[in-house]
């Protein structure tokens, strides 16, 4: 069985997430900060009458961006202004993820891909790695984020 996946880039890697419902892609905008939120929460945002939590994916995945001369680089407003927020749905949960850019939507079969560790990434959310057009696509599922705590 095949399903639609949205591919996006983050910190120069290619990721994919399975689409389960309505999807929106918006230019990055500041979220409403929530005190005492989990460290990977950018905030919450209002979109068309619903409140979405917005996940900072670099934090969720434990990715460190590399700066100009090899040092770790903080997420600056300049980086943020070029980013996008993808609004997704997993089951009943609506949420947003911050990505560097949206690449394309493709169909992939649901046969389990090669689950592997990926260097420099927290593997909790990785469901597999596929090769598409000569590039590794890291497939993610965000279900676990709703059961934190």
Partner 1 sequence: MEQSTRFLILSLEGEHYAFRITSLLEITVPRGIQKDAKLSEIFEGKMNHRNKMIPVVNLKKILKLSGPPGAVLLVMQSSKGILGLLADSVIELLDSTQKPFPMPPGVVDPSLPYFAGVLKDKQGLVLLLSEDGLWP
Closer to partner 1 by Cβ: residue 9 or 80? 80
CB 59 within 8 A of CB 39: yes
Closer to partner 1 by Cβ: residue 119 or 147? 147
Quickly tell me which residue has 């995945």 as its tokens.
61
Taking the complex as a whole, how short is the minimal distance between the CB of residue 110 and partner 1, in angstroms?
24
CB 85 within 8 A of CB 130: no
Q: Which is it for strands 50-55 and 135-140: parallel, antiparallel or unpaired? A: unpaired
Q: Which of 25, 3, 98 is nearest to 57 (CA)?
A: 98
For partner 1, the binding residues (CB under 8 A) are 32-38, 41, 44-46, 50-53, 55, 93-95, 145-149
Closer to partner 1 by Cβ: residue 33 or 104? 33
CB 18 within 8 A of CB 5: yes
Taking the complex as a whole, how short is the minimal distance between the CB of residue 97 and partner 1, in angstroms?
12
HEC letters along 61-72: HCCCEECCCCCE
Query: What is d(CA 71, CA 87) in angstroms, rounded to the nearest whole number?
Result: 31
Taking the complex as a whole, how short is the minimal distance between the CB of residue 20 and partner 1, in angstroms?
16
Closer to partner 1 by Cβ: residue 81 or 144? 144
Taking the complex as a whole, how short is the minimal distance between the CB of residue 14 and partner 1, in angstroms?
24
């Amino acid at each position: 069985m095949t399903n639609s996946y949205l591919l996006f880039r983050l910190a120069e890697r290619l990721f994919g997430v399975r689409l389960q419902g309505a999807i929106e892609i918006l230019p990055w905008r500041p979220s409403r900060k929530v005190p005492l939120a989990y460290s990977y929460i950018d905030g919450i945002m209002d979109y068309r009458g619903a409140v979405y939590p917005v996940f900072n994916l670099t934090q969720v995945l434990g990715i460190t961006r590399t700066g100009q001369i090899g040092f770790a680089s903080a997420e600056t407003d300049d980086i943020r202004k070029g980013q996008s927020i993808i609004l997704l749905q997993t089951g009943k949960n609506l949420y947003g993820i911050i990505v560097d850019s949206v690449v394309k939507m493709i169909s992939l079969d649901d046969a389990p891909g090669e689950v592997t560790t990926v260097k420099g990434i927290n593997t909790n959310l990785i469901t597999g790695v596929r090769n598409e057009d000569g590039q590794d696509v890291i497939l993610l599922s965000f279900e676990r984020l709703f059961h934190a705590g």
